[in-house]
Structure 1
Amino acid sequence: MENPSRNEIKNVLDQAKTIAVVGLSPNPSRTSYVVSEAMKRAGYRIIPVNPLADTVMGEKSYARLSDIPEKVDIVNVFRRSEFLEDIADEFMKIDCPVFWTQLNVIDENVFNRLTDAGVTVIMDRCIKVEYAILK
């Protein structure tokens, strides 16, 4: 598993406008909230994907990726690695070019499957940290 280069990641972040965040918690002390809030402040539209919350950060939350009625540029995953297979299955139902998982969220099979399908896959990287380094 080899992530795209920093330059490729910068291009992903430069082109993206909308980020669907799988596992975005409504709790402001959780990492998913802190990271997503920072990305929202940086100008990205954040779409929460959390079946247990109606809204997160003032945005309507969706139970599944396929419930989102608009185009998504990046899917950012804040779930444990064992959930990635199911999330990848759901991801393949939508038209999104980038599948991104946060630190310590890794599944080689998912990485290879999505990469083979032409998806840009970034695993085990914090989107907030990458944004701070590259901007």
Structure 2
Amino acid sequence: MLGARGDSHRQRPAYYVPRYLQEAGYRLFPVPVHEPRPIEILGEPIVPSLSALPPVDIVNVFRRSEQLPEHEADLLQLRPRAVWFQQGIVNDAVAGRLAEAGIDVVQDRCIMVEHRRLLPGAAH
């Protein structure tokens, strides 16, 4: 969860979307980018950067569209199966380069909304 937020930001998607996914059974690796950085988010120890992540299936991104290029090299090196830009986040140039590297990219969609829509019995 690139750009994950802590408890003091409960009203923000960067907090409640990861919480929803955690409650749905997904393991989270919060990578906060805002100061001050907490020690943990949602009970999970923070990871200081994308380059410090273990192999992951999906990197869910809570960053502004214009901030994505600063994470592109780390995403390409990490090579997750997919990178998910949350609702309102679009950067066709970065998405194109990730896709060229064989990484699936979703732009401008909320992973929580899609999870609820696609999985029968998911929390609504």
TM-score bracket for this pair, using the shorter chain length: 0.7 to 0.9
Q: Which has the higher contact order (CA 8 A, sep 6+)?
A: 1
Following TM superposition, by how much is the alpha carbon of 1:86 offset from its aligned partner in structure 2, in angstroms? 1.4
Does the CA contact (< 8 Å) of 2:79 and 2:103 recur in 1?
A: no
Q: What RMSD over aligned residues (CA atoms) do the two structures have, in Å? A: 1.1
Residue matched to 2:122: none
SS of residue in 2 equivalent to 1:47: coil
Following TM superposition, by how much is the alpha carbon of 1:62 offset from its aligned partner in structure 2, in angstroms? 1.4
The equivalences for 1:27-106 within 5 A come to: 27-51=9-33, 52-68=37-53, 70-106=54-90
CA distance in 1, matches of 2:93, 2:103: 14
Does the CA contact (< 8 Å) of 1:75 and 1:99 recur in 2?
A: yes
Q: Residue type of the partner of 1:30?
A: R
CA distance in 1, matches of 2:14, 2:20: 10
Identity %: 36
Following TM superposition, by how much is the alpha carbon of 1:29 offset from its aligned partner in structure 2, in angstroms? 2.1
Structure holding more strand per residue: 1
Total equivalences in the alignment? 114
TM-score, length of structure 2 as denominator length? 0.87
SS of residue in 2 equivalent to 1:93: helix
Q: Residue type of the partner of 1:57?
A: L
Task: Determine whether 1:124 maps to 2:104.
Answer: no
CA distance in 2, matches of 1:29, 1:63: 23
CA distance in 2, matches of 1:49, 1:41: 18
SS of residue in 2 equivalent to 1:22: coil
Does the CA contact (< 8 Å) of 1:54 and 1:62 recur in 2?
A: no
Q: Residue deviations 1:40-77, cap 9 Å, x none?
A: 11110011001522210010111211112x22110000
TM-score, length of structure 1 as denominator length? 0.80
